[in-house]
Amino acid sequence: MKKGAATSSDFFVRSEKVASTVKSLSRAASEQESFNQDDDYTSEKSTPQSSHKPLKKAAFTRTAQKELQKRLKETNTNASEEDSDIEHVTRKIPSKTSFVERSASRQERNRPPTSTSGRSSHSERSQRSYSTENDTDDFPEADKREDYENNNENGDDNESETESSTIRQGSPTRKKTSADILAEESSQLLLGQGLADGNIWNVLVFGPPKQRPKEDWEKWSQLTFHPSTKSVNSQDKLVDDVEARVIEDEGLYIGEPLQLPLRNLNRLENRLLKEQSYEWFGPDGKLIGFSDPYRAEPVKLVPNESRQMEFEKNVIFVPARLDPFQELQIDPRQSYEMVLELGTIQFTHHPLFSKEHILSAKLEEAFAEYAARNLMRLTERATNKLKALREAVSHTKQAYSNVISQLKDAADVAERKTLKETTENLKDRIKNYRKEMQRTCLDRDQGYWDDRAALVSVLELWRELKTLRREQGYLNTTPKLSIMEIPVDPKEDKVAWKRAIEEEFNDLKEEYDETYETEIRIYNEEMKKFLADRRKQKKSRTFSTSLEGKTTTQESKSDSDEEDTLRDESSTKKPKPPPKFDPETTIKAIEKRHAELRRQPGEPILMLELLKSSSITATNQLPTGSNKEEQRRKMVQKLKVEIKIWFNEKEVYTSKPRSIQPDFSGFLGLSIPISIKEWPESLEIQVIDPTMKLNVERIEVQLPDSKTSIDRCNTQRSQFSSDDIVRVSNSGVGCGIPFEILGKDYSAQCPRGFITSRIGWSTDTDGNILCPVGLEKLLHSAVTNESDRKLKQFMKGKSDFDPNDPKNAQWLNMKPGKPDEKHHLLEAGLMSPQKATPLRITENEFAEEGFNFDERMKEFDFCTMESIQQSSRFRLLHLRDEEVPEFRGLKMIPAFERDIPTDIFNQYERRLKEDMRKRSGTDPSLLKPSRKKMLDDESLYESNRLEKIREMRLSVLHLFENSTKQITFEDLVVEEQIPDIGTLGLNLMALFQPRRPLRPTRKERKRVQGSNLIDTKISLIVSIVRAFNLPMRKDTEVGLLTTESLTGVQVSSKRMERGVGNYATVKPFVEVWFQRSVCRTTTALGSNPTWNQELQLNLAVPNDDYSQANLSRMDDLVYFHVYDEVAIDLLEDDRRRETDIHQRLEKRWLGTISIPFSTLYTNGRIEGTFKLNSPPILLGYEAQGMASHFGPAIVGKNSQQNPSSAFTGKGPGAGTPFSNQKNAFITIFLTMQPSVTPSSGLKEDSQSGETADMVAHVKTWKNSHEMKFPDRIVRPFVMTSEGDTLLCTRFLKPIEPPNTLLTTDNDLMRAMEDLAHYVSLFPCVRDSTLGIVDFSLWFTSDTFISAPGGGIEDHSVLLACYFMHLNVPCWIVQGNAIPDGPTTFVVSSFKGLGEDKPISKQLKNAVLIWNACTGDYYHSNDNFCPLQRVWAAIGKLNVWAYTGEGERPHQVDWDVGKAKCWLPLFVKPVPESKIPCIQLATTRYKPSDQVQANSLAQRIERNLKEVFMKWRTTTKTNWNRYCSATLRRLLPKLEESKLGRSKSSDLGTTAESTVTLHSGSGSTISLNEEHLIELREIMASYQMTGFPLQQPYTNMECIIETVFATGVHTIDAPDVEFAVAAYAHAYPASVYSVWVYVAALHRRK
Amino acid sequence: MMESARDIEGNNTTFDSMMSNSGLGGDRKSRHTKDKQAIISSASSSSVPTSFLLSVIGRIESAQIFGVDDVYCKYNLAFGNDWTITSGMEEGISQITMKDDDGNFVWNFPLEVTFKSCNPHGWPQLVISVYGSDFLGNHVARGYGSVYLPTCHGSYVKTIPLFVPESSSFLQKISAWLMGRQPEFVDPKLLAQSEGRQVVRVQSNGYVVVKFEVVMKDIKKLGFLTSSKTITENYE
């Protein structure tokens, strides 16, 4: 709007006007809203007539809006059509009016929306008052409002306005507010516009704020309720005056109540009480709630065996299944149909049963039993069997006697034997028969009894029924029992009776006779034994008493007494003689039994028949007074049943109601076809009684098997029942209520009955059964499901079953195993809870069944492990998931096995095999040194040396997999850091600092996290500033050299001369190699060149994966090679020199530094001056001395003034501490674009090996230090190979170095140098390539040595331990170094040493800083010491954090005892026993094996030659064998010079005499010159450039890489020849120092 | 018989490394590529497909975010190792939209992408991050949300609830408010994974409505069932 005003000024007024219109309109709208709200209230509260009004009003406003829009548009279009701002206004209007509309439609809400968007011109205060008015005004003024409403209905808004104002006149604060004025204005405006038509518009006015009278507040307070926080009396919480029960005392289990703040709980209770909702309170007067779900202590979810079991028990297993239709792959278009036919229904109990019904039902039941018995004729069968048995016995007896007689006659032994056997057989048989007879006898008697009982019960029930019928005077049921008597001849009967008794008696007697013999024999034997025992006991007792008299120990006496008595008891059981057969008593007993059980002789046989012949008394014939019966009959007539069919738990069919006969039976005659689209799991029938509203349980119907068609199946009767309790007012007995008939109490009956049905598959016209295939296969699972469901239902049904009670846990844990058994068990167990036995049985059976959970777990397996192994695809997926390096990040694994190449696992398997061999093969090879095998093993082993160390360290990391994957907030969320005061202050300071545009400083860039760089390319930015002290080019004159060597004149003097003449300036340039991509600087001039050049290299990330893990895993090196560019003149014709230039540029390697990418990655940037790694000998070049101001003054003096001092004297050239003058340096800056930060890896607070006290102490110490110096990273804890975090002091302990390295003479300094060199030969693995950033992983030295190799720290530890063995005070210093970043160095000092030690005076006060990885050492004052910042020193038994100001080594006061600069961890010395060392007492070294080293050297040479030729792709490579041989000879000397410099003098006899001569006589002869002398013959005919390279042996690849880096192979002059020689020196513990001599030879013209 | 055998052989030989040796070349480079050799099977001519296709057409229709005036959204697709995009864009940024009267932000930003895969593991997810300017004009995150692409063919309307990460502390909150730099997720694709989410607290913030039309090819032929209700559909 304003913009519009600015563009056209004459428009301004108009638009303003429109704006004001809009404003007022909107205000009006909002007021309307308020009115609408008032409307709501009244409409809801007052009259129903007015409820339609709001709608009307909404309609009003809508029409009004349209009108308004139209008019406004008119005005606008009149004014201008171009102006968009006006357009904007008009567009805005609908939105505001629509607001009105919406608010109008929001009729239901009582409260007005607090949004006051429409009332823009109001002050906040008036708004507030207004809204409060709206809120509360309505209560007291409801009546008035109604009046107003009536007025308002007339639709006159002006009136309404006045009305409202009159209403408000009563209020005391009435004033003409600005709102009123505005409203008036707007209304005038509207009138002026012609919009004030009251029929269209509802113009509303703001009322003034209103004070509330006191009574309003009172009413208000009546409507509100503030629940108090006081506790409620528990008695109040109960509805009646019931005593609060203490449920826990009643033995029911209640868990721990949930802990809530009491205040809130009370408030809740008070609120509930106010609402009178007592149902929230339990009988104990407490809130009903779940027990506390929280555990008291935090739980770490560890796969604990027992807990897992617990967990597994609580899992209810539902086997996963596909839809069987799909599983079976049936044609879904075909229809499957099942038919259920329902025949009849019969209630055996129903609430409308009269008493007579009950009885007759019972009668029928009893009769059914009787009939069944009669049909089965159990008794008769038993008697017949008995008869048969009897005969059999007599037969066998005969046979027996026959045999016996034969036995007597038989003389032959064999015959006798067989006969005897037969007698035995027969005897056995008789015995068996007898047993059988006894059993049958019992059966028969039982049968008699049951028969009688059945008969009697039927008769009794019939009698009862008769009396009942008589009493009530009418008949309700049809059953009629007809009793037929079959008369019998009493005489015959008697005879039979007697015979029976006789027979039985005979049986018994015979039996007795048979058994008597054996019994008497047994008795006699026992008697004998018993007597013998007796005698023995008597003896022993006397004996023992006499013994005890001697020992007189009371206890033993009593003991033995007890024993005696025990023995007595056991043996004094006097055997009883077998009872005599008493015929009289036996007969009596038999007679008695018969009399009890059997039909008496003469008693007629009763035949019963139940007929349904008696007619039911018609209703009109009912005797008077039986109204209830009439009612009942009426009810029965109305009685109907419906049948519902449930298929798979879904209701599929409901029948029409069928009427039921008065005898409660009904014919259904339904045939229900069920067409199946789903797998049939269950089919249930439910009987519904709509009149009585019985809740009848569903009946399961057994699903038919696939072969059962409906025509062929039989009808089944299925029982149904219900638990309902129904009381009936008529003569029916109801359900679930006990009742009595004829004074006899009957227990409650539940409605039940049976229904006849049959089910089968229907057939199509061809007679095919319409059943899905494979039904049988799945039927079983359906059954298990079924039982599950039943179990669940059962659980649900049991209301008094307390699931919280721990006692019931086993029931809940029950899982469906064998379904039927389980179900029975459950019922048996729970139905009779008073019995203890069933419970125990079930427990046992559960245990036996064993819950074989593994079996169950199989269901969850995707497939078996074997099939994973067999299937290459699964295996591939599996390996990828396990992040096996060969398969990590593999993409698009094919879906079919056949698409996977067969050789994909070859590499992996080969590696596995190697690993296996390494693990198993190393030890036997050590024991049995078969040379050949050992070599093979070694070569394999060596090739993977680095890998092995890495693997070892990774395996430790695996212990911490959880913590490595710990993700912090910072990893996920980018957040602005809070600026602290310090940075703010610095920023402010920066403002006031003088500007120095000519000295730009590097600003820290914001670092990006690795995972952010999905698409961005990372590039390496290298800025090469300058180099200094590069060697000078020296054109070696052969003649000069030869003379020199021959004359033996002091070379030093000659050198000075030569310095003038033969030296030429180098033309150096720098090449940066990274991942085999190269970038170079321009060529500079001179030994101290300045490039100031920035280079950029792309970073190629494996797999294009810029993730953190991947970046940190990269172990590529960034090489900086300094070359000399040599122009070789090729111009043949000197005459053309003036015009033509024909040169070949050759680069000659001067030196290298390599910086691991991982270092750069972890540090972000690397900046500094680095020592160039130049070879000790550079043929064709000579290092020049550095200007004195570069080196520390004191050192310079040392080397110059005392050239023959102990530490410089014997070892001239490279390697001495103060030989920096010889070294070249290069200043570089290295960073990445964009700057990528690694995430802080893991936290070190995993499990600790230290005591809690120690951890706490160290942590407080560390924290207090970090408070002061947040930049200094002090890590007193390190991680060990076992995964413990330990105090790092535990690693320090004197360790004896290998014997061969210990020199006999007392040169301490040299011994240290040797050891440093030795330690530096161990391969080094950077932790950061393993993703370890934030903590250090230290291995004990024995692991380090046996590996061999490890991290930087491991090197330091070993070196420090060696120094300790030499009694040199030393510490491991944690600090920041270039280029490594945070790392460790070893610092040694000679201060504490006694005078007896052979140390030079210069070293007395010197502090040496050793880099254990390279073997270099520096004076603490050395400016080029890579250690830049010192943070902490770790000594034996203590750690000191550096608290001094300057962090540079030369600024540090190296006396750790000074409290000013060093903060000790333990102020008081701690005894060693408290923090014992974890290093092994003795370390065993594998003896050095030079033979192996030689073979290694051969291999290296061979490999190098191969790759060299490969690199030189374009030209032929000529090898100068003679030169190679010479070089090979030279190499061992280099190693000697590096190691034991004194040894060279002892070597005199073996090595070349010339060299020995020179080195022995003139200490100042440099190695370089030695080599020159040696090579002079070659030099005579060739111009030669070359150099030896030294490095520890890690693997072949590393060596090749270094050689490649020198770029010698790039020389492609046509006549160039090469020479390569390699030498490996073996050291103990399979450590090798590898020397490679590379040279290029040009034939001299 | 012979022909099919040749087919299989042909498949075996068509394995190729995913990585193209981009310029840098050399032994060193190939070492990396060898390690991370990726398997890809070319579309074979045989009747049985080796991979299935999932084509998703749709649009990010609208959003409802409260208390914001203008927003734009960015979508990413996160998917597993066995998935590749054969056509369509993996990421996209929409226009900035103002809200309409009902408070809806409508983008109607089209989305069309076709995946090829052979393994449902790592099923693609759509990750939506909504940004908008705050009262100072800084662009801040207004919501993040993710949803799995439907696993069945058909038409879907998905309402994706949004949330934004909360500041780690109250002080940070004030600081973020002052500096106009609300906390954001380092990588929106983090939403597609469950790892490490426990460290973040988020605030719920509105919805985005996305419409998908999903077409699939060959998934049944590879033996995967994506729906239980495909009895009839599969046979028609």
- CB-CB contact of B112 with B75 (8 Å): no
Interchain proximity A326–B225, CB inside 8 Å: yes
Whether residue A1256 contacts residue A1221, with contact meaning beta carbons closer than 8 Å, is answered with no
Burial of B83 (0-12, 13-18, 19+ CB in 10 A): buried
Q: What is the pLDDT of residue A182?
A: 62
CA of B108 vs chain A CAs: smallest distance (Å): 23
- Cα of B156 vs its chain's centroid, Å: 16
The overall average pLDDT reported for chain A is 69
Residue A325: per-residue pLDDT: 53
pLDDT tier, A792 (very low <50, low <70, confident <90, very high otherwise):
low
Given a contact cutoff of 8 angstroms between Cβ atoms, the answer to whether A1362 and A1356 are in contact is no
The confidence score (pLDDT) of residue B106 equals 92
CB–CB of A1610/A1514 below 8 Å?
no
Mean pLDDT for A773-780 is: 55
Number of C-beta neighbours around residue B20 at 10 A: 8
Phi and psi at A260, nearest 5°, equal -120, 155
Whole-number Å distance between alpha carbons of A1005 and A1002:
9
Does residue A1052 contact residue A1566 with C-beta atoms inside 8 Å? Answer: no
Q: Per the CB < 8 Å rule, is A974 touching B185?
A: yes
> What count of other Cβ atoms lies within 10 Å of the Cβ of residue A346?
18
For A102, the enclosing helix (H) or strand (E) is helix A84-105
The set of residues, in sequence order, having a beta carbon less than 8 Å from that of A233 and lying 6+ positions away, is none
- The answer to whether the beta carbons of residues A1620 and A1635 sit under 8 Å apart is no
Between CA A1232 and CA A1092 the distance in angstroms is 18
Does residue A27 register a pLDDT over 80?
Answer: no
- A1432-1469 pLDDT, tens per residue? 888 888 888 888 887 888 888 888 778 788 888 888 87
- Out of A892, A896, A974, name the one closest to residue B38 (CB): A892
Looking at residue A213, what is its pLDDT? Answer: 82
Residue B132, min C-alpha distance to chain A (Å): 16
Contact B185 A898 (CB under 8 A): no
pLDDT over 70 percentage in chain B: 76
**Cβ contacts of residue A1183 below 8 Å, gap of 6+?**
A1029, A1031, A1032, A1174, A1222, A1223, A1224
Closest chain B residue by Cα to residue A964: B196
pLDDT higher for A1215 or A1281? Answer: A1281
pLDDT tens digits for A290-338? 777 776 666 555 555 666 666 666 777 676 665 555 555 455 566 677 7
Residue of A nearest to B174 (CA): A978
* HEC-encoded secondary structure of A1312-1337: HHHHHHHHHCCCECCHHHHCCCCCCE
In the beta sheet, which residues pair with residue A338?
Answer: A674, A761
- Distance spanning both ends of chain A, measured CA to CA: 93
> Terminus-to-terminus CA distance in chain B, angstroms?
30
Distance between CA B122 and CA A1572 in Å, rounded? 67
Tens of pLDDT along A1000-1043? 776 666 666 544 445 567 788 888 988 888 888 776 544 444 44
From residue A1503, alpha-carbon distances to A774, A942, A1497, A1586, A1597 in Å are 68, 14, 10, 19, 10
Tens digits of residue pLDDT in A1593-1619 = 877 878 888 888 888 888 877 788 889
User: Phi, psi at residue A531, to the nearest 5°?
Assistant: -65, -45
Q: Does A874 touch chain B (CB under 8 A)?
A: no
Residues of A in contact with B36 (CB under 8 A): 888-890, 1102-1103, 1105
Give SS3 for A948. helix
Bridge partners (DSSP) listed for residue B62:
B106, B209
As a whole number of angstroms, the distance between CA B129 and CA B147 comes to: 12
Q: A1071 or A882: whose pLDDT is higher?
A: A1071
Asked whether residue B9 carries a pLDDT value surpassing 60, the answer given is no
When pLDDT is cut at 50, 70 and 90, the band that residue A2 belongs to is: very low
**Of A1567, A1555, A1575, residue with least CA distance to A1641:** A1575
Chain A nearest-CA residue for B202: A973
Contacts 24+ apart (CB under 8 A), A791-796: A791/A816, A791/A822, A791/A823, A791/A826, A794/A826, A794/A827
Beta bridge partners of A1223: none
Interface of A with B in 1074-1133 (CB under 8 A): 1075-1077, 1098, 1100, 1102-1105, 1116
CB contact at 8 A, A859 and A319: yes
Tokens 């899982």 sit on residue: A815
A707 vs A1365, residue with greater confidence:
A1365
- Is residue A907 within 8 angstroms of chain B, CB to CB? no
pLDDT of residue A541: 65
Q: What is the pLDDT, as a whole number, of residue A51?
A: 42
Q: What is the pLDDT of residues A376-399, one digit of tens each?
A: 777 788 888 888 888 888 888 888
Question: Coil, helix or strand for A105?
Answer: helix
Inter-CA distances, A498 with A113, A379, A390, A442, Å: 108, 18, 17, 19
A46 Cβ partners below 8 Å, 6+ apart? A142, A146, A149
Q: What is the mean pLDDT of residues A427-452?
A: 84
Identify which of A524, A527, A526, A530 has the alpha carbon closest to the alpha carbon of residue A567.
Answer: A530
pLDDT > 80? residue A1482? no
- Comparing alpha-carbon positions, the chain B residue that sits nearest to A977 is B172
Rg of chain B over all Cα atoms, to the nearest angstrom: 22
Q: What is the pLDDT of residue B63?
A: 92
Enter the pTM of the model: 0.48
A1188 or A307: which carries more pLDDT confidence?
Answer: A307
Q: What is the ipTM of this complex?
A: 0.74
Percent of chain A with pLDDT over 90: 0
How far away is chain A from the Cα of B174, in angstroms, using its nearest Cα? 9
Measure CB to CB from residue B184 to each of A325, A973, A1100 and give the nearest one: A973
Q: Are A1506 and A1604 in contact (CB under 8 A)?
A: no
Q: Which one is predicted more confidently, A1216 or A610? A: A610
pLDDT tens for each residue of B16-62 = 333 333 333 333 333 343 334 444 444 444 567 788 899 999 999 99
Provide the sign of the torsion angle of the four alpha carbons A74, A78, A84, A85, taken in this order.
negative
Mean pLDDT across the stretch A738-750? 72
CA-to-CA separations, A920 to A926, A948, A955, A1347, in angstroms, rounded: 11, 15, 18, 15
Say yes or no to pLDDT of A115 above 70: no
Predicted confidence (pLDDT) per residue in A1288-1313, tens digit: 888 888 888 887 777 666 677 778 88
The model's confidence at residue B125, banded by pLDDT at 50, 70 and 90, is: very high
CA-to-CA distance for A823 and A849, rounded, in angstroms?
Answer: 14
Show residues of chain A in contact with B183, CB under 8 Å: 973-976
Work out the minimum CA distance from B74 to partner chain A, whole angstroms. Answer: 15
Question: Which of B50, B37, B120 is CA-nearest to residue B83?
Answer: B120
Tell me if chain B has a CB within 8 Å of the CB of A980.
no
Backbone angles phi, psi at A1417, to 5 degrees: -140, 155
pLDDT at A1532: 84
pLDDT tier for residue A1487 given thresholds of 50, 70 and 90: confident
* Structure confidence at residue A36 as a pLDDT band (50, 70, 90): very low
Q: Is A638 helix (H, G, I), strand (E, B) or coil?
A: helix
Q: Determine the pLDDT at residue A312.
A: 65
pLDDT of A1565 over the 70 cut: no
pLDDT tens track for A902-943: 788 888 888 788 777 655 544 444 434 444 444 444 454 455
Percent of chain A predicted with pLDDT > 70: 63
Mean pLDDT, residues A253-269 taken together: 82
